[in-house]
């Protein structure tokens, strides 16, 4: 008999604080810390990242929920009272990324900041938050793959606590949360190892590398998940979006290198620090 981990970290009266929320909060703080530290090297003030956090996080969660509701409209159209019940689950990371990117672009326009450079700075932190955040899914026993055998999990040489947590309602399931977290960690290590190489990345290309890497990882992992959102009941939304993003990144990379010729990433913002607006 296996014993699953309790998804509730602690309770205060009738209020239950779940590990999922704690892990997501830790991911946000990690992303903010990484962005502030790198931003200072690229002549962007730390206050800008704090302000961006205050706007981006709540709107990002709203975007993640809207994205989920749109592609599950068949259910929510019959249960409109549950649209705002985010505490029952149902957010999509791509929706959060899209909403967050829109906030970032508007924020950069208002603050007179170079948007591609800011995207470069925050991208590794976002990826680190994603690596950590998938363990929130682990605690909730969600975002898993199809049924599998105990032998399948043991052949992966996983720690016993992961194997136990993958035992859900009488069956073992593939730990797709772990696949995504692991391969994004590999991508994060590569980005952090390369981004300070001289004359390697133009501004915007650290972000594009993140987006391309995540799109490939998500495409393959999504194909193994059992809780995918679908278009017309046939096409997995995240796989379709991953392909579109990968194509867009390739086109944008070539276009900017040939036509725009942007500054090198290591050149920073070129603004005085602290700068005037």
Give residue 188's Cα distance to chain centre. Answer: 12
The token pair at 184 is 């994004």
The token pair at 131 is 């690596």
* Mean pLDDT (the chain, rounded): 91
Report how far residue 4's alpha carbon sits from residue 172's, in angstroms, rounded to the nearest whole number: 12
Segment 31-58 mean pLDDT: 93
Given this model, what pLDDT does residue 88 score?
A: 66
Given this model, what pLDDT does residue 272 score?
A: 62
Residue 65 confidence (pLDDT) above 70? yes
Segment 34-63 mean pLDDT: 93
Given this model, what pLDDT does residue 87 score?
A: 65
With cut-offs at 50, 70 and 90, classify the pLDDT of residue 75: confident
With cut-offs at 50, 70 and 90, classify the pLDDT of residue 16: confident
Segment 170-186 mean pLDDT: 96
Beta bridge partners of 147: 173
Crossing angle for the helix pair 115-140 and 205-222, to the nearest 10 degrees: 30
With cut-offs at 50, 70 and 90, classify the pLDDT of residue 144: very high
With cut-offs at 50, 70 and 90, classify the pLDDT of residue 178: very high
């Amino acid at each position: 008999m296996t014993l699953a981990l309790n998804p509730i970290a602690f309770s205060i009266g009738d209020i239950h604080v779940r590990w999922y929320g704690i892990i997501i909060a830790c991911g946000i703080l990690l992303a903010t810390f990484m962005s502030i530290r790198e931003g200072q090297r690229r002549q962007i003030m730390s206050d800008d990242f704090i302000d961006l956090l205050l706007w981006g996080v709540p709107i990002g969660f709203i975007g993640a929920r809207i994205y989920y509701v749109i592609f599950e409209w068949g259910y929510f159209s019959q249960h409109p009272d549950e649209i705002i019940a985010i505490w029952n689950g149902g957010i999509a990371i791509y929706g959060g990324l899209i909403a967050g990117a829109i906030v970032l672009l508007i924020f950069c326009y208002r603050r007179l900041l170079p948007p591609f450079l800011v995207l470069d700075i925050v991208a590794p932190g976002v990826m680190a938050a994603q690596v950590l955040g998938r363990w929130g899914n682990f605690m909730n026993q969600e975002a898993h793959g199809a049924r599998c055998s105990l032998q399948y999990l043991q052949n992966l040489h996983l720690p016993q606590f992961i194997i136990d947590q993958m035992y859900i309602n009488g069956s073992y399931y593939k730990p797709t949360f772990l696949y995504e977290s692991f391969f994004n960690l590999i991508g994060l290590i590569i980005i952090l190892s390369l981004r300070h190489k001289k004359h390697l990345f133009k501004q915007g290309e650290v972000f594009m590398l993140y987006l391309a890497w995540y799109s490939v990882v998500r495409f393959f992992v999504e194909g193994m998940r059992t809780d995918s959102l679908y278009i017309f009941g046939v096409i997995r939304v995240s796989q379709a979006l991953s392909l579109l993003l990968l194509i867009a990144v390739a086109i944008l990379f070539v276009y900017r290198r040939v036509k725009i010729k942007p500054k090198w990433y290591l050149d920073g913002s070129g603004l005085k620090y602290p700068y005037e607006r």
